Amino acid sequence: MGDAMGVQVDGAPGPVQEARGRWWRTVSDAVWGRGSDPTRGPVGRAVLLLAIPMVLEMLMESVFAVVDIFFVSMLGAEAVAAVGLTETLLSLVYTVAAGVGIGVTALVARRIGEQDEDAAARATVQAVALGAALAAVLGVAGIVYARPLLRLMGASADVVAVGAGYTAVSLGSSGVVLLLFLLNAAFRGAGDAAVAMRVLWLANGLNIALDPLLIFGLGPFPAMGVTGAAVATAVSRATGVAFQLGVLLRADGRLRIRGRHVRIQPAIMWRLVRLSGTGTLQGLIGTVSWIGLARIIAEFGSEALAGYTIAIRVILFALLPAWGFGNAAATMVGQGLGAGDPDRAERAVWLAGLMNLVLLGSAATVSLIAAPGIIALFGTDGATSAYAIRCLRIVSLGFYPYAFGAVLTQAFNGAGDVWTATLLNLASIWVFEFPLAWMLAFPLGLGADGVFIALACSFSALSVLSALVFRRGRWRRVVV
């Protein structure tokens, strides 16, 4: 018999222990990549098998960004400035990579759902070819024009002198960034989320280890200064790409590339370019939005802008893992449609949204309660700290509805309905967020707080609009 808590008194496991055991088995299977066929089995378990490694993957990316700047900050303000300006230039590469990745995930997921592994492999090859072509253009331009680009970004002579090497190496190695992103997008589309997680953990973990060795010249390594940080990143990500290619050439992987797949196929390439072009536009809408809001806040002084900048770093740190559930939803939808089971795909999306609500809602609650302590970690005080705390608290209120918005927009992308996701972002940001931010900040006199409120409202608007459009079901009929 069991007691009131559901624990068996005769030594046998009760319902609580059984549920806990199932949970840990699911976590273990997700991390090790076991039993993750999104088209079969319980929908909730399938979502978790995809989402857990994707969340861990995004979490590592969050840690990487913090650790990388930690080491560089020891070299002085010029080095930090060079990294910041270069990261702004690299945001174009990241946006392109993310945009092409949307197309790759949609194509691979649909083909895998149709049980056409050869077509999935051919789509992956087209992605590599497209990424290589883009990398050649961006890489050569970065190496040749590193110094002019830094000066164009407003860098002083001292910053150019210190950071030109970092910029040249970072932009010159953009090819490995593109390939890393695109191949991981293919693995996610195939349902091999654990492989994508391991790749990013390998690349970022190696980068964190190499950073101090190459920056400061520890042991047999040369002291390369800030350029060493770029070299560490390039070597680490190239190692990740080598690992990816090794997995693709294995005989037992779900996504396998063979010699017969390695050729340019214009029809597949065109579908990928079409999806990726719209996906890149979608990324640019989001990227430019942060810049536009910063421009409005700058009208209220450097302390308001500094507070906003710090708070946005914390906010993005919290959002990155939550986007893992969005990626999981994209894979579930793509494979569900490929398998001819849109109802399963829809159930997966709503379940992923509920799970994301738990994750992102927890982050919001922590931010609301502990905002002063979180902001204090950045060493700020006075008005800057006050702005940052208010920004974090106000924007965090939008996390609760955005848990569904992040999942729903990625669901459209996974279905190949990339234009819908793009238009939803355009409507919530350019049509709603910016006018509201300006009106609250200036005519209504709320200042920077008005911008923070507009950002939280934009998260809510995106979620409501996405839910209404998703329920109409047009995404079920998209052909890719």
The C-alpha R_g of the chain, in whole angstroms, comes to 23
Most confident stretch, 1-15, 122-136, 255-269, 355-369: 355-369
In-domain check, residue 18: no
Mean pLDDT of 57-71: 75
Assess if residue 25 is contained within a domain: no
Predicted confidence (pLDDT) at residue 1 exceeds the cutoff of 50? no
Task: Output the CA–CA distances (angstroms, integers) from residue 304 to 300, 309, 385, in the order listed.
Answer: 6, 9, 9
Shared domain for 246 and 393, answered yes or no, is: no
User: By three-state DSSP, how is residue 245 classified?
Assistant: helix
Q: Does residue 255 sit in the same domain as residue 286?
A: no
Q: Assess contact for 300 and 447: CB atoms under 8 A.
A: yes
Q: What are phi and psi of 264, to 5 degrees?
A: -75, 130
The rounded percent of the chain whose pLDDT value lies above 70 is 95
Residues 363 and 394 both lie in one domain: yes
pLDDT confidence tier of residue 457, bands split at 50, 70 and 90: very high
C-alpha 346/C-alpha 341 separation (Å) is 9
| The pLDDT of residue 31 is above 50 | yes
In a domain, 31, yes or no: no
* Domains in the chain, number: 2
Q: Does residue 397 sit in the same domain as residue 434? A: yes
Stretch 134-145: mean pLDDT: 85
- Under DSSP, the state recorded for 290 is H
Confidence at 13, pLDDT banded by 50, 70, 90? low
When pLDDT is averaged across residues 117-132 and rounded to a whole number, the result is: 91
Asked whether residue 67 carries a pLDDT value surpassing 90, the answer given is no
Sign of CA dihedral 420, 421, 426, 428: positive
Domain boundary among the residues 217, 238, 264 is at: 264
C-alpha to C-alpha distances, 130 to 116, 231, 320, 468, nearest whole angstrom: 22, 24, 26, 35
- Whether 1 maps to a domain, the answer reads no
Q: Are residues 183 and 282 both part of a single domain?
A: no
Report the amino acid identity of residue 309.
T
Please report the pLDDT score of residue 107 as a whole number.
Answer: 94
Same domain, 177 and 58: yes
Measure the CA angle with vertex 183, ends 37 and 117; round to 5°. 45
Which of 216, 235, 264 finishes a domain? 264
**Residue 207: inside a domain, yes or no?**
yes
Residue 349 belongs to some domain of the structure: yes
Co-location of 88 and 197 in the same domain:
yes
Domain endpoint, select from 238, 264, 290:
264
Nearest to 409 by CA among 98, 30, 92, 38: 98
CA distance 461 to 435: 13
For the cut 90, the answer to whether the pLDDT of residue 5 exceeds it is no
Does the pLDDT value for residue 4 go beyond 50? no
Q: State the pTM of this model.
A: 0.86
pLDDT band at 6 (very low <50, low <70, confident <90, very high): very low
For 369-406, the pLDDT digits (tens) are 999 999 888 777 788 889 999 999 999 999 999 999 99
At 356, list the tokens. 């994301």
What's the pLDDT score for residue 328? 92
Confirm whether 17 is domain-assigned. Answer: no
Whole-angstrom distance, CA of residue 70 vs CA of residue 67: 5
Which residue stretches of 145-218 are H helix? 146-152, 157-172, 174-189, 193-216
The pLDDT score that the predictor gives to residue 432 is 94
Tokens 């995930």: give the residue.
Answer: 105
Say whether both 286 and 246 belong to one domain: no
Q: Are residues 242 and 293 in the same domain?
A: no
Tell me, yes or no, whether 208 and 295 share the same domain. Answer: no
Same domain, residue pair 243 and 99: yes
pLDDT of amino acid 11:
55
User: Quick check: 182 pLDDT over 60?
Assistant: yes
269 within a domain of the structure (yes/no): no
Range with lowest mean pLDDT among 50-54, 84-88, 272-276, 336-340: 84-88
The answer on pLDDT for 357 being more than 90 is: yes
- Provide the pLDDT for residue 395: 95
- Domain membership of residue 476 as a residue range: 278-480
- Looking at residues 204-223, what average pLDDT do you find? 91
The pLDDT mean for the chain works out to 87
- Mean pLDDT value across residues 189-200: 90
Q: Are residue 349 and residue 215 in the same domain, yes or no?
A: no
pLDDT score recorded for residue 12? 56
Confidence of residue 90 (pLDDT cuts 50, 70, 90): confident
